[in-house]
Chain A
Amino acid sequence: MKPTAAEQTGMKQQDFEALFSKYRRLVYRAAYSGVGNKLDAEDALQSLFLKLIDQGFSENFVRDPAGYLYRAAANEARQMCRARERRTRSHTADDIEVLKDPQSDRSRGEEAMRERLLDAMAQLEPEQADILLLWFERGLRDAEIAELLGKTRGAVGMMLHRAKERLKELMCDDSEAGGRQ
């Protein structure tokens, strides 16, 4: 009988399911915070675990599975956001007219702000975005993030401050660019 892709990398179904069960919430929630919709977050979850089956465990994964999967999920979400932004930029003139209409912009309200935040998050340095996600989405404190990332507490505090400042700049740039269209 031919081996499955999983068997070729030595992964047994029982082991995989135990691993999946342990980390699925962590990966899904990290991805969801990055993409903001269920479909893409589910896609990221599937894609990451398929890679683990097909490519086996990397050294970084073995050293710190939770940290590795969290960063990988956030990274996958960033790539999805960038791809979505590229597609949005290629919309038709009619779509752009709708975006320029102040009435429609107001009606988009919170959704527009969330999109703007996600776009700005996708443009941050990966480490900055990771720290913000760990702080706001996971609710970790400086010391816990420092332990997870192997940094000092002071360094994490400084990085968090810089990440917020950069995020503000990006959101303002985005807002001005939207106004100029």
Chain B
Amino acid sequence: MKPNDMDIDEILRRYLPRASQEEADEAGERVLKRIRAMRFSEAAKERKPGWLPKFDLAVLAAVDELQGEGTAVTITLKVEELLEERIVSGSAVFIILLLQERSGLVASSPDPNEPDAAHLQSFKITGSGRGALAAARAAEARRAGPLADFA
């Protein structure tokens, strides 16, 4: 199709996605609950910004590296690679993934062919997850100090 043949107003009117007010409100409620838990709850007060345990950080980094294609198994293998150690329990990784999903750091999608198969669902990092990962890496770099390269 040539550009002149295209009715762009019609295409925009017909195909530009639009969310209803109800959808926006429902999404807003879910997000507000997560933000309350992440930034205003008692649990949040116990954590410094950028704080993540090493293992959780590795799980988040693995999800990020697999670019939304990682399942519980491939993420576990990637965590092993990042930490350079064998992980005895893959279920530990899966539990952390579920906790990170509840905190809004990662989001999961079911496998289109087997939507009920938990081990086939894929995980991707969210904007908040990317922020937490960057903050945790910065905090780690600060702790390591200028001699980190000589370790």
Footprint of B on A, CB under 8 Å? 1-6, 8, 13, 16-17, 20-21, 24-25, 28-29, 32-33, 35-39, 41-51, 53-54, 76, 83, 86-87, 90, 110, 113-114, 117-118, 132, 136-137, 164-165, 167-169, 171-172, 175
Instruction: Flag B4-24 by CB within 8 Å of A: 1 or 0 each.
Output: 101011011101111101011
**Shortest Cβ distance from A42 into B: residue:** B27
Consensus secondary structure, chain A interface: helix
Inter-subunit contact B31/A132 (CB<8 Å)? no
Cα A4 to Cα B128 in complex, Å, equals 16
Residues in B with CB closer than 8 Å to A21 are 28
Q: In the complex, which residues of chain B have a beta carbon less than 8 angstroms from the beta carbon of A35?
A: 17
DSSP class of B's interface residues: helix, strand, loop or mixed? helix
Q: What's the count of A-B pairs with C-beta under 8 Å?
A: 140
CB contact under 8 A between A76 and B127, given known A114-B17, A167-B8:
yes
17 contacts between A and B (CB under 8 A): A17-B32, A25-B24, A32-B19, A38-B19, A39-B109, A45-B28, A46-B34, A50-B35, A50-B39, A53-B39, A87-B68, A90-B67, A114-B17, A117-B11, A118-B17, A137-B16, A171-B11
Please report which residues of chain B, range 92-151, place their CB below 8 angstroms from some CB of chain A when the two chains form the complex. 104, 107, 109, 126-128, 131
Considering the chains assembled together, what is the distance between the CA atoms of A4 and B11 in angstroms? 46
Decide: A172 near B68, CB < 8 A? Known: A4-B44, A43-B107, A114-B15. Answer: no
- CB-CB under 8 A from A8, the residues of chain B are 49
Residue B86 at the chain A interface, CB threshold 8 Å: no
By beta carbon, the residue of chain A nearest B7 is A168
Query: Interface residues, chain B, CB within 8 Å of chain A?
Result: 1-4, 6, 8-9, 11-13, 15-19, 21, 23-25, 27-28, 30-32, 34-36, 38-40, 44-46, 48-49, 67-69, 104, 107, 109, 126-128, 131
